[in-house]
Amino acid sequence: MRKRILDAMARRLTVLIIPQTQMKAWRWQCSTGFFLFWLGLWTVLTVAAGLVVGRHIDYWITKADNQVMLTKMTRLAQEMDRARYALDQAKSTDRQLRGLLTMAGSRDPIEAATGVGGPSLSDRLSLGKMLNGGAAGIRQADWHREIARLRHDAEVRLASFQEIGWYVGNQKSLRNATPSLWPTEGSITSLFGYRFSPMHRGDGETGEFHSGLDIANAADTLVHATADGTVRFSGWSQGYGNMIVIDHGYGVSTLYGHTSKALVKAGDRVMRGQVIAYMGTTGRSTGAHLHYEVWRQGRPVNPMSYLKVRSGPDLLGYAPRVVKARS
């Protein structure tokens, strides 16, 4: 068997190359073993060269991918910096709004809950550092931490603005529910507090506590709601005559007495400045006037502490003149 293999390897091979031109044909002879040796050597060199070239190609592809990744991460870092800047602007606006609104707890909730200081994201993930350090120099934990901080800060800021919105809405509701308008036009004939009873003059000047404000004018003068609210009572009430009681919320209500006719009924929602009745002299009264009361937390208070005095012909801002009490 061995002899047969050696004989086969010793056989001569002739390689003949015939060109299509006038050149002479090229002829080369070698043994079968020599030919197989060079064929194997060429195959090994070709495979090795392919592996080396392939490895270099993979290296350059990986390097190019890293460059693309670094570029994308740099842009992401810039976008995160812009997001941080926008949150800082929102933080400043939040602080200014709370200061203008004199809201309690105007201290920034983020600063109150977390510490500040240290390098920024742009310092840790600068383009120069990334290019010098490569992908290995980028800490994934930094990205997760910064993204978590941005998400947390955005949620806190959103909650803060929602609180400001609630506060503004509540203050607007409170302002509209504060009885600061004059209920009618006329002359003030009796103030809040102790006075001589107009019903017993000539009988010894009996004193009494007057729990409201009397404003006199011609019969059927318009009477207005002094704030937003809900009508709790509209009807006859002995000494008050035709009476209307409006609940404004926040523990405040107003009373309108001696009206000739009510234009609202219990359960109606009335708005600030809305006409609700006509001035009259029903009930215990000596003449056409409006008896106006303001109640706070179940007790009558001086209506003058709520009413505003304005100049000009505006009815609801008109400050009646005070005259000698007659009703």
Output the tens digit of pLDDT for each of the chain's 327 residues: 777 777 777 777 787 778 777 778 777 778 888 878 888 888 888 888 888 887 788 778 888 887 888 787 778 777 877 888 888 888 888 888 888 887 765 445 444 444 444 445 555 444 445 445 544 455 677 777 878 888 888 888 888 888 888 888 888 888 888 999 999 999 998 898 887 665 555 555 566 888 899 999 999 999 999 999 999 999 999 889 999 999 999 899 999 999 999 999 999 999 999 999 999 999 888 899 999 999 999 999 999 999 865 433 344 444 454 444 333
Reading the block at residue 37, the tokens are 């040796």
Residue 223 burial by CB count (10 A; 0-12/13-18/19+): exposed, middle or buried? buried
pLDDT attached to residue 204: 52
Closest by CA position to 186, among listed 211, 209, 220, 212 = 220
Q: Which residue has the tokens 């005559």?
A: 241
Query: Looking at the structure, do residues 171 and 264 belong to the same domain, yes or no?
Result: no
The per-residue pLDDT for 80 is 79
Residue numbers of the domain that contains 31? 2-71
Look at the chain and count its residues: 327
166 shares its domain with 257: no
Between CA 83 and CA 85 the distance in angstroms is 5
- Same domain for 191 and 301? yes
Does residue 326 lie in a domain region? no
Domain assignment of residue 245, yes or no: yes
For the chain, how many structural domains are there in total?
3
For residue 264, the model assigns a pLDDT of: 96
Same-domain pairing of 207 and 246: yes
Residue 119: the pLDDT is 46
**Whether 193 and 301 share a structural domain:** yes
Q: Is residue 262 part of a domain?
A: yes
pLDDT of amino acid 281 = 92
Residue after which a domain boundary falls, among 134, 156, 176: 176
78 and 67 in a single domain? The answer is no
In a domain, 216, yes or no: yes
Indicate whether 319 belongs to any domain.
Answer: no
Please compute, for residue 56, the number of CA atoms within 13 A of its CA located in the half-sphere on the CB side: 6
State residue 106's pLDDT score. 47
- pLDDT on residue 313: 37
| 310 in a structural domain | no
Structure tokens at 54: 């392939």
Q: Both 16 and 56 in a single domain?
A: yes
204 and 293 belong to one structural domain: yes
Looking at the structure, tell me whether residues 94 and 66 fall in a common domain.
no
Domain final residue, candidates 18, 43, 71: 71
Query: Same domain, yes or no, for 191 and 270?
Result: yes
**218 located within any domain:** yes
Residues 63 and 80 in one domain: no
Question: Could you tell me if residue 235 is inside a domain?
Answer: yes
Domain end residue (candidates: 33, 55, 71): 71
pLDDT (0 to 100) of residue 148:
84
Same domain, 198 and 301: yes
